Amino acid sequence: MDLIKKSTLRENVTNSIRRAIVNNKIEPGARIIETKIAKKLGVSQSPVREALRELELMGLVENKPYQGCFVKTLTRKDIKDAYKLRAYLEMLAVREAAENITENDLKNMDSLIKQMKLFAQSGFKEEFIEMDIDFHKLIIHVANNHLLEKTWNMVNLGQWTFITAKISGKNLTELASRHESIFESLKEGNGEKASQYMKNHIEELSEELSEEILTKFEDD
């Protein structure tokens, strides 16, 4: 893990620990010691503690009473549960977004897809992931359902995109192109159609990760 600047503290600490977990630099079952992580990142224990709470909500770490915080060994059920929740929330969001979307929102979505493709073709995985998250985050925001947005943010569902891109065997260009049908449906103002495409997209990701996880992590 790289030393980070203190400007975007909590987010960078969370991202740094998450990357270390996904890249197996901190292995499943390993105990996470706040003082050691804080020293490595050049920060206090407070942002590390906050980051671990976020990662616990994501399901990447778990706190065991009187033992400490440990990297969770992901199972197929963990993947399916997370993506099932994501599908429900984003299907609802995209239906509501179809009623509220503006020309400027569509312009921004189109730009995000183009950037995704560009980063995919250039092999810039981190930048691709950020654009992918921003695309889904924009749909959540355009839905204008504050409780839905709060729930989506609280459990960090967008951050599962990092796990998808790291574990899935699909190339980034293919992942980028899947967003086009959702975008076109929103452009038509067809919420039901957009919702079905969103369902298909997230269910495909869930199935792909469930297969890949057999060789990446322990199963149930």
Q: Is residue 43 part of a domain?
A: yes
Shared-domain flag, residues 147 and 134: yes
> Both 67 and 100 in a single domain?
no
Measured in degrees and rounded to the nearest 5, phi and psi for residue 35 equal -65, -40
- pLDDT-derived band at 216, boundaries 50, 70, 90: low
Tell me what pLDDT residue 219 has: 43
Q: Does 82 share its domain with 152? A: yes
**How many structural domains comprise the chain?**
2
Range of the domain at 137: 76-216
HSE value, Cβ hemisphere, 13 Å, CA-based, for 172:
25
pLDDT at 169: 60
**Whether 115 and 188 share a structural domain:** yes
Domain stop point among 30, 55, 71: 71
On whether residue 127 sits in a domain, the answer given is: yes
Q: What is the pLDDT of residues 19-50, one digit of tens each?
A: 888 777 888 899 999 999 999 999 999 999 99
The Cβ-side half-sphere exposure at 214, using a 13 Å CA radius, reads: 7
Task: State whether 193 and 109 are in the same domain.
Answer: yes
| CATH (domain of 145) | 1.20.120.530
Between the alpha carbon of residue 27 and those of residues 122, 194, 205, 214, 217, the distances in Å are 29, 38, 23, 16, 10
How far, CA to CA in Å, does 108 sit from each of 127, 129, 160? 16, 16, 22
Last residue of a domain, one of 26, 45, 71: 71
Are 81 and 66 found together in one domain?
no
Instruction: Calculate mean pLDDT across residues 77-95.
Output: 90
- Note the pLDDT tens digit of each residue in 53-83: 988 888 889 999 889 999 988 778 887 888 8
- pLDDT tens track for 144-181: 999 999 988 877 776 677 776 666 666 788 888 889 99
CATH code for the domain of 60? 1.10.10.10
